[in-house]
Amino acid sequence: MEKDIRWLVLLTVIVGTFLGRLDQTIVNLALPRIIDEFSITVTQAGWIATAYILANAVFVPIWGKLGDTIGRKKVYLWGFGIFIFGSVLAGLSWDLSSMIVFRIIQAIASSADYPTAMAIIAVTFREGKERAQALGLWSTAFAASAVFGPLIGGPLIDTFGWRSVFLINLPVGIVGIIMAVMFVKESTSEKKTVKFDWLGALTLGITLCALVLVLDKGMEWGWLSIESVLCYATIVGFGYIFYQIDSKHPEPIVDFKFFKIGAFTNTLINNFIVFMGMMGSLFLLPVFVQTFLGYDATQTGFIFMPMAFGMILAAPLGASLVGKVQPKYVIAASTLVAAIGLFMFTGLDPRSGPMDLVIPVLIMSFGMGFGMSQRTSIIAWAVPEQEIGVASSVLALARNIAGAFGIALFATILNNAVENNVLNIASNSIINTNNPLILQQVVPLMILKAQISAYPTVFILSTAIVLIGAVLALGINVKEKKSGAEVFVE
């Protein structure tokens, strides 16, 4: 394939990935308007996001397997087309039930993007350094979508209403489909599927539904509530059944042989830990900024813009080290830099200015982006080319679960820290007055101090978790070249 065409292929899948991930961030801005129009509660509106997350998580491995067997371009186009169709339907929703159904359609289609896009890039860019650079640049689409979501969504909603955040996907999506038809070449696995693993897909789907559901709703229900315990039992029971099925199936949805490859497993663990620590704590940062610093949604979006710039700058730099420096050292160093950025958030207080936010975000995103291409490349190179789609779906699944787990973990940590701080402040405070007016002012101030003091706890723990990821990255051992690629795989 000509070099110019190859980079157009990369641009094509970046458009698809950006649009799919943008949809996840931009819809959250529209929720207040949707709540008003549909006359629903905040809890009910939460299912708009929860349904999307559940469906997306369940279908990622299925699309990855289908892409490897029936054709990656075919699956990519089908996913893109259904996503646009679901977006238009969501924009025409008339009540909560219709919105949830149409969001599920969107999520099922969107989940086709990650495994097929990564496989398309891997088979398009076969030379080591270029493949790493391409995968790194593609990965920045995730950060860019998170940054530009609020910047694009706010004006759209204010000018054209909440339905516009869905309908805008139609013209952009059509452009993406045309690009895919023109530039992307069809590729399939050399190993043709004879018997699709439908039972494995079903049991994995049930397991993931229960897992994502309890992570999303566990704090609301109570982690030891009947609902949560039922989810735990479902996870263990169906997870075991899934393992028994796929460990014996000749063409499994998830090939457990991948986990015998040290480079694959250790890279996956590093990804999980890093995403858990970063996504969980960064989920709470906008809450702090808007609650205690008084920023609006648009100002908060500007604060996060350096995240995209940091990753875009760092990704090609990290890719340039492929074949020159062992990947484990690059990944460990990048994870360490990301941890330093996170640690800088521990100094936040109500007096913090914009640069107190921008600099840590920039450092953290630079560290994340510097190792992104190395992580993704190792996953692609560690498995046979015909199974890249399945392997990349496992990576996507790990990142999704890590993000959900991190958000649930650190939201719980924050709430517990606030409660403990309130008790500590109350027990160590002496109020020398019985004036009820003054007492009414003191209690909210104590709670406010407890809330502000809880955030450093979250960022200290998230820093510690990411540091563990940096240490574990040193276990990504590399020994032999594979197929002439300029990386080494254990």
pLDDT tens over the chain, length 490 residues: 455 688 888 888 888 888 877 777 777 777 778 888 888 876 677 777 777 877 777 787 777 777 777 778 888 888 888 989 999 999 999 988 899 889 989 888 888 877 788 778 877 887 766 777 777 777 777 667 766 776 777 778 778 888 988 888 888 888 888 888 888 887 665 555 557 777 888 888 888 888 878 887 787 788 889 999 999 999 999 999 988 988 887 777 777 888 888 888 888 888 888 888 877 777 778 778 877 887 776 677 677 777 777 877 887 787 777 777 888 888 899 999 999 999 998 888 888 888 888 899 889 888 887 887 777 778 777 777 667 777 777 777 787 788 777 877 888 888 888 888 777 877 776 666 666 666 667 667 777 788 888 888 888 988 998 999 899 888 887 655 444 444 444 4
Instruction: Kindly state the tokens that stand for 190.
Output: 């050399």
CATH number for the domain spanning 81: value is 1.20.1250.20
Burial status of residue 108 (CB atoms within 10 A of its CB: 0-12, 13-18, 19 or more): buried
Position 486 scores a pLDDT of 43
* Distance separating alpha carbons of residues 178 and 111, to the nearest angstrom: 20
On whether both 24 and 109 belong to a single domain, the answer is yes
Residue 77 within any structural domain of the chain: yes
Instruction: Kindly state the tokens that stand for 241.
Output: 């059944």
The structure's pTM equals 0.74
Nearest to 152 by CA among 294, 8, 21: 21
Position 429 scores a pLDDT of 67
Q: For residue 36, count other CB atoms closer than 10 A to its CB.
A: 10
Residue 35 contacts residue 45 (beta carbons within 8 Å): yes
On whether both 6 and 94 belong to a single domain, the answer is yes
Residue 341 within any structural domain of the chain: no
Position 340 scores a pLDDT of 93
Of 214, 234, 254, which residue sits at a domain end?
254
Of 130, 162, 188, which residue sits at a domain end?
188
Residue 427 within any structural domain of the chain: no
On whether both 130 and 68 belong to a single domain, the answer is yes
Nearest to 20 by CA among 54, 64, 65, 56: 56
Residue 350 within any structural domain of the chain: no
On whether both 72 and 151 belong to a single domain, the answer is yes
- Give me the torsion for CA of 144, 150, 151, 155, rounded to 10°: 150
Angle formed by the axes of helices 42-70 and 96-110, nearest 10°: 30
Residue 474 within any structural domain of the chain: no
Instruction: Kindly state the tokens that stand for 454.
Output: 């809880």
Residue 328 within any structural domain of the chain: no
Nearest to 184 by CA among 380, 387, 64, 12: 12
Position 343 scores a pLDDT of 92
On whether both 48 and 142 belong to a single domain, the answer is yes
On whether both 105 and 145 belong to a single domain, the answer is yes
Residue 263 contacts residue 451 (beta carbons within 8 Å): no
How long a stretch of residues is the chain? 490
On whether both 227 and 175 belong to a single domain, the answer is no
Helix (H, G, I), strand (E, B) or coil at 185: coil
* Distance separating alpha carbons of residues 279 and 401, to the nearest angstrom: 11
Domain extent for 212: 198-254
The secondary structure of residue 435, as a DSSP letter, is -
The secondary structure of residue 387, as a DSSP letter, is G
Position 92 scores a pLDDT of 92
On whether both 54 and 173 belong to a single domain, the answer is yes
Residue 47 within any structural domain of the chain: yes
Q: Name the domain count of the chain.
A: 2
On whether both 59 and 89 belong to a single domain, the answer is yes
Burial status of residue 131 (CB atoms within 10 A of its CB: 0-12, 13-18, 19 or more): buried
Cβ-defined contacts of 294-298 (< 8 Å, 24+): 297/29, 297/150, 297/154, 298/150, 298/151, 298/154
On whether both 122 and 6 belong to a single domain, the answer is yes
Residue 224 within any structural domain of the chain: yes
Position 146 scores a pLDDT of 66
On whether both 146 and 212 belong to a single domain, the answer is no
On whether both 109 and 168 belong to a single domain, the answer is yes
